[in-house]
Chains A and B, each alone.
Chain A
Amino acid sequence: MSPGKVLERLAQLVLVLLGVSVIVFLMITLTPGDPVQIMLGDQHVTPEQEQALRRDMGLDLPLPERFATFIGNAFQGEFGLSFFHRRPVAEVIAERLPATIELTLVALILAVATAIPLGVLAAVRKSTIFDKLATVTSLLGVSMPGFWFGILLLLLFAVNLQMLPVSGRIDFAYQVEPITHLLLVDTLLRGRPDAFVNALSHIIMPALTLGLPMTAILMRVTRASMLEVLAQDYVRFAEAKGISRRRILFRHALKNALIPTVTVAALETGTLLGGNMIVETVFGWPGLGRLVVESIFVRNYPLVQTAVLFYALTYVLLNFVADLLYTVLNPRVKL
């Protein structure tokens, strides 16, 4: 990709973010519900006390003024105070982000590592019992609601077999000084295999739950594109030349078949961030998704706005990465 193209994409990014912030701001502020009323709860309060709180949250200003302040501050990296935590939003989000990133990455790795081999196998053994089983399983994987699958896992592995913990990231007994804030990485960097295993035992169920639909989708995509590629002339030609089956599959076919898989994987990673909201709630995972859900319910405007901006940014960047990967996988593709 030429530097000009990169700049062009970045300029688009700014526009997208600006558009997203307008939409988010309008959507959340126009949604009925008043954070002041929610915060006051069931108390007897005077109108003066209510007004004081409104002023404190900056909600006494007219809408356009509030929007201008929000955008102006956002460009300077200021996202305001969380209404309910009463601390800077950026700080509150930063505390929760590593857990979400770690969970997303592990789910992604699990999904890719299972989906691609399974998809290839299903394509190669097309119409066998294995293929049909894989098809049914993946259909189940896409259809099963995350919270339900999560709770099934909990009941089996935590309650009945007592093999895995129900919630959290790591037991209190393990204190690991953070480096990257990703526990699986930090525990290894600090040379604490015991803590690593404990963190792993905590992340397995949430990551499986989160990654399941993605695994299913990726498997279907890989299978379909693999079948398409295997029917191409160059594959038949390679077979005619007597090249080994394994070499044909992995050197010739898979590389080309992966292009759609990569696009879908990148986009689905964005979806994983969204799926986090449910999985994090079920497994008490201390991530951003749960924080956002809780914040939406109590109309914590600054936090929701900032978090959605962050999601949008990630999504756009992931698309960008997918485009870049295209050019690597298939040199004929020019951006």
Chain B
Amino acid sequence: MHTHMFRHMFRTATFASALAATLATGAAGQASELRVGFSADALTLDPANHRNRETETIIRNMYDGVLTRDAKMAIVPELAESFRQVDTTTYDFTIRQGVTFHDGSPMTAEDIKFTFDRLILDNAMGGQTSPRKGLLGPLKEVTIVDPRTVRFILSAPWPILPAMLPFQEVVSKAFVEKEGSAALATKVNGTGPFRLVDWRKGDSIVMERFDGYYGGATDIPPVGKACVDRVIFKVIPESASRVAALLSGDVDIINELPAHAMNQVARNANTAVVTVGGTRTNFVALNNTKPPFDNVLVRKAANHALDKKLIIDKILNGTATPLNGELSPDAFAFKADLPEYAYDVAKAKALLAEAGYPNGIDVTLDVEGPFKDTAEAIASLLAKAGIRARVEVGEASLLTKKWRQDKDKVGDMTLTSWGNGSLDPSDIAEPTLQTGGRGNSAGYANPKVDELLVKASTEIDKAKRAAMYHEAQAIVNDEAPWIFLWLPQDIYGVSKRLSGWQPSADSRINLHDACVK
């Protein structure tokens, strides 16, 4: 009975897949189809009603923005043709002509104004307020100057407006008014290279090429329609299953390839690994508010005690860039000549002794479960210099509360990170290093740094602004509120039938130029 049952099931299965294969080729005909094995489903398809990077990655293939970024992360016009800053609080955008929405209607200045009104006005989305409002800072009003020009008016100077605009996508005013704001959660009428075919929630999002596409940003060749006929984002949350899907040929691109699976994908004849510098700065926040890390000598000792290169090579498989400060090398005003805390156990011990800890210190190192390996490696390396850290694993929200919200910081060290999708210093330095910042796990407080960050956040002159950030980076580097670690790369697995696609540092997966053999 047992064997019979299984034999029968196997036969059914073989038959099933054979039949499926025949039918799939038959049904698809000559159409080219690109599949992405993606770690999460979209929460909604409404570009204004979420705060979620994965959702944006999916949506961005169907919706275009006023501005976008090229592969080198430069900000370039997309639905705008050009833009200029009129004064410290005013920007004018010239709207590209000849752009149509998926329903064939032309995109106008009205649509751009409507899109941003929906984002920044209270209760503008059928009674809801957009959770993305905060991403537009002091944007107060959007007005139509003439049919080709839209003016963005800020309530205070905010030089990073252009850096934040690629995060917003333009919707059709007529469509939203006709269908109702809530309908955008599941219906798409964008101006992007692909149009929505079907959203099988939790399973996949299917899109096909939009033949009326205007071609995309002129600064990012090739300009024109998308290469593939159909795109499917398949939701596969478990990384081992995502790797299996890539190896079996089920999908052509997977995101968040774990470092330990890189060799497996690289060795496979039909697949390859591609990486790109990410935007998430990793660091060990040292508790600057209490002993022993209130002493700068101890903090410097910790920086000297860690052999970063060893961890990057052995645990991260070489997929990270060491840092001496808070900024990614791709970020605006990155200071490339910050002094490095070279790996030097003797120096670390001497600094500890000088600080009054000749016998070393006993501390705890908090970490989230997924990064336990790295934390343990860090702890064992620090121990050689007399910094004996006990690793304590905690759940993400618990650690956020303990390190970022509780009034009294009780921990010693925590391995943590902060993302900087806009690649502008204000978006990472202000939360993590300004006194009382939302992400200031270290409890770092330096009036001079605070002042520089406040001034720079509204400084319009790029050179002056960069100079202020350079100065702040130098102070932070010298005071070492953290053990400066590294910037992990984003790792993707791709099929060799894929061409024309490269990963992007802002973790978007833009499929406009991707082709499959």
Interface residues of A (CB under 8 A from B): 31-34, 37-46, 49, 52-53, 56, 84-87, 95-96, 99, 113-114, 117-118, 121, 134, 147, 151, 154-155, 157-159, 162-169, 171-175, 194, 197-198, 200-201, 204, 281-287, 290-291, 294, 297, 299
Contact = CB atoms under 8 A, between A and B. Distances in A.
B202 A43 contact: no
B50 interface: yes
B19 interface: yes
Contact of B202 (A52, A87, A96, A155): A96
Contact of A34 (B1, B405, B419, B439): B405
Interface string B415-449: 00011110000111011000001110000000000
Interface string B17-33: 10110011001100000
Contact of A198 (B23, B131, B395): B23
Interface of B: 1-2, 5, 9, 12-17, 19-20, 23-24, 27-28, 37, 40-41, 43-44, 46, 49-53, 122, 128-129, 131, 133-135, 182, 185, 198, 200-204, 206, 232, 234-238, 240-241, 244-245, 247-250, 280, 395-398, 400-401, 404-405, 418-421, 426-428, 430-431, 437-439
B427 A201 contact: no
A197 B118 CA distance: 46
Contact of B438 (A44, A286, A291): A44
A84 B52 contact: yes
A74 to B, nearest CB: 22
Given A84-B52, A85-B43, A159-B244, A114 B427 contact: no
B431 A44 contact: yes
B237 A281 contact: yes
Contact of B401 (A33, A162, A168): A33
B302 to A, nearest CB: 24
A99 B41 CA distance: 15
Nearest to B426: A44
Contact of B14 (A87, A163, A167, A194): A163
Nearest to B35: A172
Contact of B248 (A84, A159, A168, A290): A159
A109 to B, nearest CB: 12
Given A41-B51, A96-B201, A155 B244 contact: yes
Given A118-B2, A173-B24, A43 B135 contact: yes
10 contacts: A33-B397, A33-B398, A34-B400, A37-B400, A39-B131, A165-B250, A169-B203, A204-B16, A283-B241, A284-B234
Q: Which 10 A-B pairs have the closest CB atoms?
A: A33-B397, A286-B202, A201-B16, A286-B203, A49-B134, A173-B27, A166-B245, A284-B236, A42-B419, A45-B134
A33 B400 contact: yes
Given A197-B20, A204-B9, A158 B134 contact: no
B58 to A, nearest CB: 14
Given A33-B398, A86-B185, A172-B204, A56 B17 contact: no
Nearest to A287: B202
A292 B428 CA distance: 31
Contacts of B421: 42
B202 A95 contact: yes
A38 B428 CA distance: 16
A56 B131 CA distance: 9
Nearest to B251: A166
B282 to A, nearest CB: 12
